[in-house]
């Protein structure tokens, strides 16, 4: 076994030696004249500046923006309670109903009292008309006419009072129906069916599904960029990457003590049939405008190689002469399309992205065209 291993290592050394020698020889060779040198096909791209804007993505949690504790305006016993916790109810849909019997009786009494008042007003009006004719013929004195006028005014005032009482009874009767003021989800039920509730006592907690908000956490390094935040988009991966435009509500003035991050809250609107729920996770995409000094060149990562000293280099194509030269560059951050180049390249230059292992300074190349 030891002998076999020794032979394997020996063969490996001898196999590598011609390659190493060839490489060393190539470095010592002068550049071959262009007319006699083979042309190497390569892929290349034209250097372009990074976009004026970039996107920060932060984990976010959906929250309620509007939640309402619904209550009856009158007291009574709950006779219907058709909703359940977690149920979506539409605007105007019945939440709960009080037993209307007592209020119906009150409304009936007010209606009867109004009928009597109207009848009395009619009689007093007829009596006043008769007294006016008699007084004109001097068959009655002025005191009798004044009493008739007073009775007519009293009857008219009584009709007004009874109308107000009937309207109030009808209004209180309508309060036995508790309806959803907007489309939302029932988050809590505070009472049960057949419970007796007081006016103003919370019955359910309703959460608005049309208007919601999301909260994420900004690291301290991102806070100085806030003035350059231009656009907010909420992405929900669980709903096929649903994207919703959002508006900034605010950024916390101080960092949270445990996480050392600043809360950022955005608000957004949804459709009537939304599947979003408070507590869901999402991504907050923030479009940030770069500083003028941050707008570097951008190239594919495959165009970059390292020399023995660890410096980053690229191969630049002289399109007029059809040759390449290597050039040292200073790199920045990774991007979605490749990597930023801070120094060493100018916009419009061409760099090789595939075939760089076969290149040497002055090598003639042919840039392959992209397939249509």
d(CA 213, CA 268): 6
What residues does CATH 2.40.420.20 cover in the chain? 34-50+293-372
Tell me where in the chain the CATH 2.40.30.170 domain(s) lie. Answer: 53-95+183-289
Residue 170 token pair: 């009808």
The whole-number pLDDT of residue 292 equals 66
**Where are the CATH 1.10.287 domain residues in the chain?**
101-174
Burial of 363 from C-beta contacts in 10 A (0-12 / 13-18 / 19+): buried
Q: What is the pLDDT of residue 204?
A: 97
Q: Which backbone phi and psi does 368 adopt, to 5 degrees?
A: -75, 140
Q: What is the pLDDT of residue 81?
A: 97
Q: CB count, 10 Å around CB of 343? A: 11
- Burial category of 61 from C-beta neighbours within 10 Å (exposed 0-12, middle 13-18, buried 19 and up): middle
Residue spans of the chain under pLDDT 50: 1-35, 371-372
Query: CATH classification of 34-50+293-372, choosing from 2.40.420.20, 1.20.1440.230, 3.30.413.10, 2.70.170.10?
Result: 2.40.420.20
CB atoms within 10 A of CB 236: 19
What is the structure's pLDDT at 334?
78
Query: 10 Å Cβ neighbour count for 51?
Result: 14
Reported pTM: 0.56
pLDDT at 308: 85
Separation between Cα atoms, residue 345 and residue 317, nearest integer Å: 12
Q: How far apart are CA 295 and CA 340, in angstroms?
A: 9
- SS3 call for 126: helix
pLDDT at 294: 62
Q: What is the pLDDT of residue 26?
A: 44
Choosing among 1.10.10, 3.40.1710, 1.20.1630, 1.10.287, the CATH entry for 101-174 is: 1.10.287
| Topology (CATH level 3) of domain 53-95+183-289 | Elongation Factor Tu (Ef-tu); domain 3 (2.40.30)
Q: What is the chain's Cα-based Rg?
A: 43
User: What pLDDT is stored for residue 256 in this prediction?
Assistant: 79
Please state, in angstroms and rounded to a whole number, the distance separating the CA atoms of residues 127 and 52.
90
Q: Show the tokens assigned to 99.
A: 């037993």
How many Cα neighbours within 13 Å face the side chain of 325?
9
Q: What is the pLDDT of residue 225?
A: 84
- CB-based contact 206:253 (threshold 8 Å): no
Residue 247 tokens read as 């508006």
- The whole-number pLDDT of residue 291 equals 73
């Amino acid at each position: 076994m030891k002998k076999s291993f020794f032979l394997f290592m020996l063969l490996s050394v001898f196999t590598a030696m011609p390659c190493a020698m060839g490489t060393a020889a190539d470095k010592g060779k002068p550049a071959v004249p262009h007319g006699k040198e083979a042309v190497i096909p390569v892929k290349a791209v034209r250097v372009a500046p990074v976009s004026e804007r970039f996107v920060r993505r932060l984990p976010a949690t959906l929250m309620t923006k509007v939640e309402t504790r619904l209550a009856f305006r009158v007291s009574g016993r709950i006779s219907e309670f058709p909703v359940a916790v977690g149920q979506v109810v539409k605007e105007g849909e019945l939440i709960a109903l009080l037993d209307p019997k007592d209020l119906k009786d009150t409304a009936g009494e007010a209606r009867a009292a109004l009928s009597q008042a109207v009848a009395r007003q009619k009689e007093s009006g007829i009596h006043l008309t008769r007294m006016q004719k008699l007084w004109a013929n001097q068959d009655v004195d002025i005191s009798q006419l004044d009493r008739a006028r007073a009775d007519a005014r009293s009857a008219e005032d009584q009709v007004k009072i009874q109308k107000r009482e009937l309207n109030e009874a009808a209004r209180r009767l309508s309060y036995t129906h508790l309806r959803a003021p907007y489309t939302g989800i029932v988050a809590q039920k505070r009472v049960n069916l057949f419970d007796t509730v007081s006016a103003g006592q919370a019955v359910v907690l309703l959460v608005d599904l049309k208007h919601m908000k999301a909260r994420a956490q900004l690291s301290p390094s991102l806070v100085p960029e806030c003035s350059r935040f231009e656009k907010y988009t909420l992405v929900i991966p669980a709903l096929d990457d649903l994207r919703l435009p959002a508006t900034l509500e605010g950024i916390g003035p101080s960092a949270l003590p445990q996480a050392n991050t600043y809360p950022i809250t955005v608000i957004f609107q949804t459709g009537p049939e939304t599947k979003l729920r408070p507590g869901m996770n999402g991504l907050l995409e923030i479009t940030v405008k770069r500083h003028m000094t941050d707008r570097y060149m951008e190239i594919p990562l495959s165009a970059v190689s390292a020399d023995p000293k660890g410096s980053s280099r690229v191969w630049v194509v002289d399109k007029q002469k059809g040759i390449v030269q290597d050039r040292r560059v200073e790199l920045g951050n990774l991007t979605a399309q490749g990597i930023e180049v801070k120094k060493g390249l100018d916009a419009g230059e061409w760099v090789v992205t595939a075939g760089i292992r076969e290149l040497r300074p002055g090598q003639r190349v042919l840039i392959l065209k992209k397939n249509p």
